[in-house]
């Protein structure tokens, strides 16, 4: 009887010990699963850089002229490059198909002086045939500006009113340096038709002197951005790129992981990537190597 009791006791000890061992194995297995990837904790940093922006010389004042609704063009009196005065006839329209009835013809006049550009109108054209586009433009070539493209990630941090030097390519093959001032965005944003992942903002630059410079001339400028606000330095392996967009994976205290889009601003001196996002905060934990 005593032998049976001792045997049962030993069996109980072994069972409990084995259960504890199994429990320990399960627990350490779970911890190992959690620790199967490396993480890094975010800290706020500072970042500044210089971006090269390219664009072209454009007229400051551009007035679009349209064909009136329910009218067709009888004749066109101007061509690209013509200089017109305010009140000068640009083209003549008729309000019905009978273009021979002179009393029903109307002259479309220039509302301002300038140089004619982008003439699309021809005899017989209508507003519908131009798909809503302007028949022509009147431009002021005495006042020229520069339009350059600024990357979307840098656009909010460019300081308006900053002076900049602009290199302008001349038709003669040489170049000239213009003193300019960053003014404002004229279009936000604009996307390249061949690659929608590259989004940019059109920035206007005013010049004090543009003598010898022509509309359409290519320009380049270096713009310094000294404050990008709240940024984070992360390992290059922590950032995932998909179709021109960038992501990091945030690890929460309950071990759940969420992917968030970020803006990639550049690369630090140590090779780490500089990112920013409203979805991130100082102290957040992210996966350090997404290849793991």
Which has the closest alpha carbon to 145: 89, 62, 77, 225? 62
DSSP state of 4: H
**d(Cα 263, Cα 194) in Å, to the nearest integer?**
21
Q: Residue 172 burial by CB count (10 A; 0-12/13-18/19+): exposed, middle or buried? A: exposed
Q: Is the backbone of residue 86 left (phi > 0), alpha (psi -120 to 50) or beta?
A: beta
Whether the CB-CB separation of 50 and 224 falls below 8 Å is answered with yes
Tens digits of residue pLDDT in 57-92: 999 999 999 999 989 999 999 999 999 999 999 999
Instruction: Report CA Rg, the chain.
Output: 34
Q: Which residues contact residue 261 at a Cβ distance below 8 angstroms, ignoring those fewer than 6 apart?
A: 245, 246, 247, 277, 279
pLDDT at 197: 55
Q: How many CA atoms, within 13 angstroms, populate the side-chain half-sphere of residue 111?
A: 8
DSSP state of 22: H
Tell me which H or E stretch contains 8.
Answer: helix 2-34
Q: How many CB atoms lie within 10 A of CB 91?
A: 23
Q: How many CB atoms lie within 10 A of CB 171?
A: 10
Q: What domains can you pick out in the chain, each with its CATH number? A: 39-49+228-287 (2.40.420.20), 51-59+144-225 (2.40.30.170), 62-139 (2.40.50.100)
Q: What is the mean pLDDT of each run of 10 residues along the chain (292 residues)?
A: 45 42 31 65 93 95 93 95 96 74 81 94 93 94 93 89 95 92 85 59 94 92 92 96 93 92 91 94 94 84
pLDDT at 95: 81
The DSSP code sequence of 207-269 is ES--TT--TT-EEEEEEEE---SSEEEE-GGG-EEETTEEEEEEEPTTS-EEEEEEEEEEE-T
pLDDT at 212: 85
Whether the CB-CB separation of 54 and 219 falls below 8 Å is answered with yes
**d(Cα 86, Cα 2) in Å, to the nearest integer?**
122
Q: Count the residues in the chain.
A: 292
Distance of CA 127 to the CA centre of its chain: 32
The DSSP code sequence of 147-191 is EEEEETTTGGGPPTT-EEEEEEE-TTS-EEEEEEEEEEEEEEEEE
**pTM recorded for the entire structure:** 0.68
Q: Residue 35 burial by CB count (10 A; 0-12/13-18/19+): exposed, middle or buried? A: exposed
**d(Cα 54, Cα 230) in Å, to the nearest integer?**
27
pLDDT at 289: 93
pLDDT at 199: 80
**d(Cα 284, Cα 246) in Å, to the nearest integer?**
17
């Amino acid at each position: 009887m005593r032998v049976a009791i001792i045997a049962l006791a030993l069996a109980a000890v072994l069972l409990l010990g084995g259960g504890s061992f199994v429990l320990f194995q399960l627990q350490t297995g779970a911890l190992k699963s959690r620790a199967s990837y490396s993480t890094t904790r975010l800290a706020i940093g500072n970042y500044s850089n210089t971006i090269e922006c390219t664009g072209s010389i454009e007229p400051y004042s551009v007035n679009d002229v349209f064909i009136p609704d329910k009218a067709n063009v009888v004749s066109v009196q101007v061509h690209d490059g013509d200089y017109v005065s305010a009140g000068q006839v640009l083209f003549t329209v008729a309000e019905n198909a009978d273009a021979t009835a002179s009393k029903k013809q109307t002259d479309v006049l220039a509302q301002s002086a300038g140089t004619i550009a982008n003439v699309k109108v021809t005899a017989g054209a209508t507003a519908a045939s131009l798909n809503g586009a302007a028949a022509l433009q009147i431009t002021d070539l005495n006042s020229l500006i520069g339009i350059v493209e600024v990357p979307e990630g840098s656009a909010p941090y460019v300081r308006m009113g900053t002076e900049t030097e602009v290199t302008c390519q001349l038709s003669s093959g040489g170049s000239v340096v213009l003193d300019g001032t960053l003014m404002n965005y004229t279009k936000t944003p604009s996307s390249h038709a061949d690659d929608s992942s590259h989004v940019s903002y059109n920035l206007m630059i005013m010049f004090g002197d543009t003598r010898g410079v022509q509309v359409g001339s290519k320009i380049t400028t270096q713009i310094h951005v000294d404050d990008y606000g709240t940024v984070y330095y992360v390992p290059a392996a922590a950032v995932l790129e998909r179709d021109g967009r960038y992501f990091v994976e945030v690890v929460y205290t309950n071990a759940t992981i969420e992917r968030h889009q970020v803006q990639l601003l550049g690369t630090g001196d140590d090779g780490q990537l500089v990112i920013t996002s409203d979805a991130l905060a100082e102290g957040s934990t992210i996966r350090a190597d997404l290849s793991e």
